[in-house]
């Protein structure tokens, strides 16, 4: 494999800036790698024509420095509208949709000098932590092609693990970039809600459950991409600047709370909790304190609030399409369940869910007065067979919804906390698992600094997929 593909983003852009490496050489390396392995994992979709991409790389080489992503090829998550590139959202409704304009995220990548080469695969409308759809099929785990790469940023996670990308964008409501980071042995960061602006369309205030964020093979590259994506955007209430820095601060003395299975409320497949707790001993070796803590809030209340607000948001976002019988027939069952459940909610139920959310925010604020971060696994089971739609049980405990096996990600999501997903090692059959660190709002830099120290001590992503 071309050694260029193993570089960090920082090393890559330094060589491009010094003209020690050309954008054409970088593009050739990426496209050759996609040709070699993408057919097995199905991570990159809607790939642009090779001749057009090489021509754009040549143009970059001939011109001035374009920015921090000068000449870097990036495939954008297929939930993002990208000008001139087929953008399907994983849905038959948009099977042939080619946008005429970039969404904010794509525009920021271009403005930073990136060359947008195609898309990364997702589930339909990003719903569910398993990346499959009727247009492109399923994305497979690079460490075991018979299993899922997770989702909804599964294509991004698999592309990073396979060295088809240095960095990737993801989005995260219910662990959509944390789950695939953990299952693909890479890193993902869910930013503080409001740090990275959204697409700016429709309603902007009521329910910020999801956010865009970066994925990478190391935390410093995460931070570099976050610096590009963050910042105010005209016409949007969110967006704040973020400066990556060097992430070399000493972490000795930091306190990390381990919530594990939330006092037994969350079932886990065997081995996950032990692996993740063992991963945290790295922080202890670096001078941090890691201690088990009692559940800081009732799990059942978190679940009730989350599922109510999520269904309400889905029903609102998809109201027009649901009203059209032809489009309604295109939705997968899980989306129909969300929409119909959301349509049946009363004002009282929505307000009660928001009140629970507010109570949890207050309780979390008290928790972070003691702890710099809290840790938990990124999923409640190991990557499952790629042919499944979703797991129907967790270690013998039935799952009553399509997403119950991702309950461990909602504490951060519900109140907009920053959360960094890190590789925790490998379990049965060499399948990866991740551990996540959540912190108080605005602690993005502090979490990434913790993750950088962890990465320097572990370097898990250097354990590449054995057969790719």
CB 44 within 8 A of CB 164: yes
- The torsion angle over the Cα atoms of residues 87, 92, 93 and 97, rounded to 10 degrees, is 30
Cis peptide before 406 (omega within 30 of 0): no
Where are the alpha helices (H) located in 154-290, listed in sequence order?
A: 154-161, 178-183, 219-229, 272-285
Longest Cα pair distance anywhere in the chain, in angstroms? 62
CB 298 within 8 A of CB 376: no
Distance CA 254, CA 239 (A): 28
Of 466, 468, 456, 464, nearest to 219 by C-alpha is 456
Of 220, 165, 159, nearest to 189 by C-alpha is 220
Match 């994506």 to its residue by tokens: 229
Taken as a whole, the chain contains a residue count of 468
Match 């399509």 to its residue by tokens: 402
Match 């990036």 to its residue by tokens: 74
Work out whether the CA dihedral 402, 175, 377, 373 comes out positive or negative: negative
**397 strand-pairing partners:** 394
What is the separation of C-alpha 258 from the centre of its chain, rounded to a whole number of angstroms? 22
CA angle at residue 159 from 154 to 162, to 5 degrees? 125
The burial of 250, by beta-carbon neighbours within 10 Å (0-12 exposed, 13-18 middle, 19 or more buried), is given as exposed
Catalytic residue among 87, 91, 153, 176: 176
Radius of gyration of the chain (CA): 21
Catalytic residue among 152, 153, 171, 305: 152
Distance CA 401, CA 246 (A): 42
Catalytic residue among 46, 77, 91, 332: 77
Provide the angle, in degrees to the nearest 10, between the axes of the packed helices 23-41 and 50-62. 150
Active site residue 152: yes
What is the separation of C-alpha 356 from the centre of its chain, rounded to a whole number of angstroms? 25
Active site residue 77: yes
Residues with Cβ within 8 Å of residue 55, at least 6 apart in sequence: none
Both tokens of residue 20?
Answer: 């020690």
CA angle at residue 127 from 377 to 96, to 5 degrees? 140
Known catalytic residues?
77, 152, 176
């Amino acid at each position: 494999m071309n050694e260029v593909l193993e570089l960090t983003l920082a090393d890559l852009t330094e060589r491009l800036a010094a003209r020690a490496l050309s954008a054409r050489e970088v593009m050739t390396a990426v496209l050759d790698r996609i040709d070699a392995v993408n057919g097995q994992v199905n991570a990159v979709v809607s790939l642009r024509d090779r001749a057009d991409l090489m021509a754009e790389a040549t143009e970059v080489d001939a011109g001035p420095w374009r920015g921090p992503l000068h000449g870097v090829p990036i495939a954008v998550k297929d939930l993002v509208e990208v000008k001139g590139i087929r953008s399907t959202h994983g849905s038959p409704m948009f099977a042939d949709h080619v946008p005429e304009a970039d969404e904010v995220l794509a525009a920021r990548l271009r403005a930073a000098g990136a060359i947008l080469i195609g898309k990364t695969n997702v589930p339909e409308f990003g719903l569910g932590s398993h990346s499959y759809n009727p247009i492109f099929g399923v994305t497979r785990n690079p460490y075991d092609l018979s299993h899922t790469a997770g989702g909804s940023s599964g294509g991004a996670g698999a592309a990073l693990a396979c060295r088809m990308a240095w960095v990737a964008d993801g989005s995260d409501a219910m662990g959509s970039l944390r789950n695939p980071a953990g299952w693909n042995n890479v890193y993902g960061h869910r930013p503080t809600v409001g740090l990275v602006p959204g697409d700016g369309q429709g309603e902007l205030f009521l329910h910020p459950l999801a956010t865009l964020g970066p994925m990478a093979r190391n935390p410093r590259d995460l931070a570099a991409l976050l610096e590009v994506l963050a910042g105010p955007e005209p016409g949007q209430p969110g967006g704040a600047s973020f400066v990556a820095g060097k992430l070399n601060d000493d972490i000795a003395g930091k306190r990390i709370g381990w919530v594990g299975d939330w006092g037994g409320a969350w079932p886990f497949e065997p081995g996950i909790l032990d692996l993740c707790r063992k991963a945290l001993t790295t922080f202890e070796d670096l001078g941090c304190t890691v201690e088990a803590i009692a559940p800081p809030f009732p799990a059942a209340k978190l679940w009730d609030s989350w599922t109510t607000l999520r269904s309400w948001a889905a029903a609102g976002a998809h109201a027009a399409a649901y009203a059209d019988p032809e489009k309604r027939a295109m939705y997968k069952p899980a989306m129909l369940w969300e929409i119909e459940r959301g349509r049946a909610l009363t004002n009282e139920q929505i307000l009660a869910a928001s009140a629970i959310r507010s109570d949890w925010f207050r309780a979390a604020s008290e928790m972070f007065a003691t702890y710099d971060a809290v840790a938990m696994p990124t999923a409640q089971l190991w990557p499952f067979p790629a042919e499944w739609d979703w797991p129907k049980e967790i270690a013998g405990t039935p799952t009553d919804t399509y997403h119950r096996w991702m309950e461990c990600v909602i504490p951060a999501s519900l109140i907009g906390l920053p959360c960094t997903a890190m590789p925790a090692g490998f379990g049965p059959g060499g399948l990866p698992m991740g551990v996540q660190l959540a912190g108080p709002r605005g602690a993005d830099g502090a979490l990434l600094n913790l993750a950088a120290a962890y990465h320097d001590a572990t370097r898990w992503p250097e354990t590449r997929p054995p057969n790719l």
